[in-house]
């Protein structure tokens, strides 16, 4: 089997379809923003924060999510949001990413002085500034490099408390008498409506709707109304599913939420995690689910490092089910999840894949192209096809140069 050269991974055009803005700040910027915002950090050095908060390994998903209390706390001004978005785009451009979808929950950053529309506009300004600088460069204008495009995915949350911020405190105050699962569903519907309204009114490239947060005990079905609204208004859908729960969570994402893509999907093949009493043959259920996902080209946003950090059973990447996903013909795209929290980049994730999992050059090509083909790109269909064609041409050109034995 041909080895995928590191130089090829470094130089090919790449995507990141699953990257959280508030999990991907530069650590130096987090410290600067915290000083400016008077947010107390457990350490004021990068080394200290890596030891105490942003670790190499986490006990579980809640432990992994703990650092977001600091990143979200500093992203409460338009200036900080714009800066974080600009720097994220710059970091991605530097490693060859030519399309990315930045996801975050704008409601986490709202307060009396900052509306949801202002939050989204600030993030868009940062991304646009970086994209404009790149796309006006001589290399792009002379067709020596590909342009850079981006989209924004708005996240709803499976659950929350008043400590999450003013937006959530207000909502819980207004709906405090209702069952919590109903409150969570109402909040998601409100965010879906706001995303569509802001997209249509402001012309922002809001391309998708997501559901994030702790899976166990907070089913996606509780957010069915929000996803139906997004679906009815031509907003593409992705769902964090199968990250910390079993195949039934993925099934709900597809059937109740009309998911076009699945975030993580880690436990897709875990028949032993099937709990539904109406499923007499869990193994057959899993096989049918995987076949359906493959045939419908529902892309799986795989985030290797973050899964290794939060799932104790995965001692190394060779134990990750991404190998089975690829072997089953699933549309797999490799993503970072959180560049800061997981200390990673797209290039590192792809290196981890090819060094840990037996993968042919053809399979590797499919993984790279799955990111572009599965993208919720804010372009017309014909424009997207033309862009993907340019990506394919560039990939094949670099493959001939750097991996001729595999052609």
- What residue ranges do the domains of the chain occupy? 6-170+204-222+286-402
- What pLDDT score was predicted for residue 214? 82
Active-site choice (101, 215, 243, 349): 243
pTM of the predicted protein model: 0.96
- Section 17-25 average pLDDT: 98
- What pLDDT score was predicted for residue 174? 87
Instruction: Pick the range with the lowest mean pLDDT from 96-110, 133-147, 156-170, 337-351.
Output: 156-170
Determine the Cα–Cα distance for residues 199 and 204; give it in Å rounded to an integer.
Answer: 5
- What pLDDT score was predicted for residue 315? 87
Residue 1 has pLDDT above 60, yes or no: no
- Section 235-255 average pLDDT: 95
The pLDDT tens digits of the residues spanning 102-145 come to 999 999 999 999 999 999 999 999 999 999 999 999 999 999 99
- What pLDDT score was predicted for residue 63? 81
- What pLDDT score was predicted for residue 407? 59
Q: Which two tokens stand for residue 135?
A: 């796309």
- Catalytic, 243? Answer yes
Q: Which two tokens stand for residue 330?
A: 């699933």
- What pLDDT score was predicted for residue 406? 66
> What is the average pLDDT score of the chain?
95
- What pLDDT score was predicted for residue 177? 78
Tell me the CATH class for 6-170+204-222+286-402.
alpha beta
Residue 24 C-beta-side C-alpha neighbours within 13 Å: 30
The pLDDT tens digits of the residues spanning 24-61 come to 999 999 999 999 999 999 999 999 999 999 988 887 77
Determine the Cα–Cα distance for residues 177 and 181; give it in Å rounded to an integer.
Answer: 12
Asked if residue 395 lies in contact with residue 9, where contact means CB atoms within 8 angstroms, the answer is no
Determine the Cα–Cα distance for residues 44 and 54; give it in Å rounded to an integer.
Answer: 13
Please, which residues bridge with residue 16 across strands? 100
């Amino acid at each position: 089997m041909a080895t995928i050269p590191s130089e090829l991974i470094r130089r090919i055009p790449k995507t990141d379809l699953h990257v959280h803005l508030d999990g991907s700040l530069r650590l130096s910027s987090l410290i600067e923003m915290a000083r400016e915002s008077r947010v107390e950090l457990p350490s004021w050095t990068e080394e200290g924060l890596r030891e105490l908060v942003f670790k190499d390994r986490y006990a579980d998903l809640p432990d992994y999510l703990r650092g977001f209390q600091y990143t979200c706390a500093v992203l409460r001004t338009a200036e900080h949001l714009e800066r974080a978005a600009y720097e994220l785009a710059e970091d991605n451009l530097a490693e060859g990413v030519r399309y990315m979808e930045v996801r975050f929950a704008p409601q986490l950053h709202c307060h009396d002085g900052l509306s949801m529309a202002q939050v989204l506009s600030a993030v868009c300004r940062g991304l646009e500034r970086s994209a404009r600088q790149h796309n006006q460069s001589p290399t792009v204008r002379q067709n020596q490099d590909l342009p850079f495009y981006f989209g924004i995915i708005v996240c709803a949350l499976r659950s929350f408390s008043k400590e999450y911020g003013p937006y959530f405190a207000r909502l819980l105050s207004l709906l405090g008498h209702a069952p919590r699962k109903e409150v969570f569903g109402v909040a998601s519907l409100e965010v879906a409506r706001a995303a569509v309204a802001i997209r249509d009114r402001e012309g922002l490239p809001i391309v998708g709707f997501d559901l994030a947060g702790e899976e166990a005990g907070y089913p996606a079905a509780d957010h069915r109304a929000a996803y139906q609204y997004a679906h009815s208004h031509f907003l593409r859908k992705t769902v964090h599913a199968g990250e910390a729960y079993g195949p039934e969570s993925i099934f709900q994402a597809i059937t109740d939420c009309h998911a076009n893509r699945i975030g993580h999907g880690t436990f897709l093949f875990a028949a032993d995690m099937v709990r539904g009493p109406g499923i007499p043959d869990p193994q057959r259920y899993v096989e049918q689910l995987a076949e359906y996902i493959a045939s419908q080209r529902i892309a799986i946003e795989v985030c290797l490092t973050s899964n290794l950090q939060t799932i104790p059973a995965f001692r190394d990447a060779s134990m990750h089910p991404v190998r089975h996903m690829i072997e089953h013909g699933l549309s797999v795209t490799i993503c970072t999840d959180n560049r800061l929290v997981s200390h990673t980049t797209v290039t590192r994730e792809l290196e981890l894949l090819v060094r840990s999992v037996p993968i042919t050059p053809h399979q590797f090509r499919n993984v790279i192209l799955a990111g572009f083909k599965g993208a919720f790109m804010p372009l017309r269909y014909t424009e997207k096809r033309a862009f993907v064609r340019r990506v394919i041409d560039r990939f094949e050109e670099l493959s001939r140069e750097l991996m001729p034995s595999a052609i």
